[in-house]
Amino acid sequence: MGLQEQQKVADETITKASPELRDINWDLHSHPEVLFQEHHAHKVLTNFLEERGFKVDRSAFGLETAFRASYGPEGARAVAINLEYDALEQIGHACGHNLIATAGLAAAIGTAEAIKQGKINGRVVAIGTPAEEGGGGKIKMIRAGAYDDIFCCVMVHPAKKDNAYVTSMCGSELTIEYIGKPAHAMAAPWDGINALDAVTLLQTSIGLLRQQIMPSDRIRGVVLQAGQRSGVIPAYAKARYCVRSASLERYSVLKQKFINCLEAAALATGCELKTDWLPAYWDIRTNEALAAKFVEHMERQGVSFRSAYEQKMDQDCFSTDMGNVTYVVPSIHPTFEIISPGGTIHTAHFAAAARAQDAHDRTLRCGRAMASTALQVLMDDDFAAAVRRQFDAEDWSIAADPALA
DSSP one-letter string for 73-130? -TTSEEEEEEE----BTTTBSTT-HHHHHHHHHHHHHHHHHHHHHHT-SEEEEEEE--
Tally the residues of the chain.
Answer: 405
Beta-ladder partners of 123: 78
List all residues 6 or more positions away from 397 whose beta carbon is below 8 Å from its beta carbon. none
Q: Which amino acid is at 254?
A: L
- Rounded Cα distance between 242 and 217, Å, is 11
Mean pLDDT of the chain: 97
- The alpha-carbon radius of gyration of the chain (Å, integer) is 24
pLDDT per residue as tens digits for the range 73-105: 999 999 999 999 999 999 999 999 999 999 999
CB 61 within 8 A of CB 144: yes
User: What pLDDT sits at residue 378?
Assistant: 99
Evaluate if residue 357 carries a pLDDT over 90: yes
Q: Where are the alpha helices (DSSP H) in 88-235?
A: 97-118, 137-143, 195-209
Give the closest residue to 166 by CA, choosing from 182, 176, 155: 155
Beta-ladder partners of 55: 70
DSSP 120: -
CATH number for the domain formed by residue range(s) 170-277:
3.30.70.360
CB 26 within 8 A of CB 355: yes
Residue 276 confidence class, pLDDT cut points 50, 70, 90: very high
Domain with CATH 3.40.630.10 in the chain: 3-168+281-404
Domain with CATH 3.30.70.360 in the chain: 170-277
CATH of 3-168+281-404, one of 3.40.50.620, 1.10.443.10, 3.40.630.10, 3.40.50.1970: 3.40.630.10
List all residues 6 or more positions away from 317 whose beta carbon is below 8 Å from its beta carbon. 169, 218, 244
CB 326 within 8 A of CB 168: no
CB 68 within 8 A of CB 146: yes
Residue 9 confidence class, pLDDT cut points 50, 70, 90: very high
- Rounded Cα distance between 58 and 405, Å, is 27
Give the chain's count of helices (H) and strands (E).
13, 12
Residue 404 confidence class, pLDDT cut points 50, 70, 90: confident
3-class DSSP state of 307: coil
